[in-house]
Structure 1
Amino acid sequence: MLQPAYPLKTARLILRPFKKTDLNALHSFQSRPDVTRYLYWEPRTRAETAALLEDKIARSTLTEPGEYLAIAVELIDTGELIGDLTLWWTSREHASGEIGVVFHPQHHGKGYAAEAATELFRLGFDELGLHRIHGRCDSRNVASASLMEGLGMRREAHLRENELVKGEWTDELVYAMLSSEWKRR
């Protein structure tokens, strides 16, 4: 079980559960074609974002494998919601998880995603006791691949045309980190 001691603070960010008042900020990036280009979903309507937010609000703790933790990322200086983190607990038996990171494009290139994702690794490895955490991205998503490499994740696979996404066959990159690698960082 994982019940983070919210709010979690990094040097520049506050990581916390989602709340109803996050709708406008979350929709500001979930509705953008440039954000969803390499993701499984199309830009969300306001109603779709509202439904997503309701689900995220209910995901502030992990109690069983198959669940995911949804964490809002805001700037300490302004309180602005700039990102959306996900930590899936994929298997108790194999002590494994998966991370997901989505940030508003206005905040790309500033190191916020790496700062926030590092806290996801801490939660997964140090608090939940995971052995392995992986992340996946469309091979055309250079920013996502660069983020995972910068975090110290290893590229484990390049799966050729393994999924049909938005009407086209896409390649997928798989990155991972082991708890022993996390401890050596």
Structure 2
Amino acid sequence: MSISEPIYGSTERLFLRQFSEQDIEPFYSYRTNPVVAKFQPWGNYQYNDAVSFVRQQITNVPGQPGTWFQFAIVLVETNQFIGDCALHTLLDEPRIVEIGFTLAEEHQGKGYASEAVKLLFNFVFEQLNKHKLIAFTDVRNEGSIRLLERVGMRREGHLLENYYSNGQWVNEYQYSILQSEWINLKK
């Protein structure tokens, strides 16, 4: 971990930091992995997409209304970039933040995503003082559904044919948690 990199939260196993140029290759690698991309809307992801995306994230600031901010998920022990989690501060209601997360296939199923999402909750509720977090997931994405429920989010909606991706309409579940609920869960 470099002292010059802002750290947005850490556990014994991982930390969240801003993206850097060194993240382009591993980011592209997992974004183009069919297992990782199965429930994602990004389609035919190209290397130039990864370069542009990471370079944009380097300049972004978390919590800006109408923008997505992607955090790099990095292992403490090896300093290895293993995935990302994101927050999208809504433009029309900036006290509400949408979150998302993606992990490289070889790091899934080890609890890293849950740890990263909890760090994200802490950052959003304690540092940014937001009122509510929401998340959307494909109804077929059982791993994400389990994770969202495990970290304390509640299913608030079932959105039929909510977006079109890879030649089909996708149904999604909407999840949420309030700042007050997260504070109570942490007690």
TM-score normalised to structure 2 length: 0.90
Cα distance in structure 1, aligned partners of 2:47 and 2:105: 18
Cα separation, 2, equivalents of 1:31 and 1:148: 24
Map of 2:53 onto structure 1 = 52
53 and 139 in structure 1: CA distance in 2 versus 1, 3 angstrom threshold? same
Q: Is the 8 A contact 1:73 1:84 kept in 2?
A: yes
Runs of 4+ aligned residues of structure 1 deviating over 3 Å after TM superposition are 91-94
CA–CA distance in 2 between the matches of 1:26 and 1:125?
27
Aligned match of 2:171: 171
Structure 1's 128 and 7: CA in aligned 2 closer, same or farther, altered over 3 A? closer
| Conservation of the 8 A alpha-carbon contact between 1:32 and 1:43 | no
Q: What letter is aligned with 1:16? A: R
**1:115 to 1:174, Cα distance in 2 relative to 1, 3 A:** same
Quick check: 1:113 aligned with 2:98?
Answer: no
Tell me which residue corresponds to 2:29: 28
SS of the counterpart of 1:54? helix
Please tell me the residue identity of whatever aligns with 1:50.
V
- The alpha-carbon distance between structure 1 residues 178 and 28, as it changes in their structure 2 partners (threshold 3 A), is same
The percentage of counterpart residues that share the same residue type is 34
Change (3 A) 1:64 1:7: closer
Q: Which runs of 5+ in 1 are unaligned?
A: none
Count of residue pairs brought into register by the alignment: 181
Aligned to 1:124: 124
Partner of 2:14: 13
The question of 1:182 aligning with 2:182 is answered yes
Match in the other structure for 1:71:
71
CA contact (8 A) 2:134 2:177 kept: yes
Q: CA RMSD in A?
A: 1.7
Give 2:39's aligned residue.
Answer: 38
Contact kept? 2:70, 2:85, Cα under 8 Å: yes
Contact 2:8–2:123 under 8 Å retained in 1: no
Q: CA deviation at 1:6?
A: 2.0
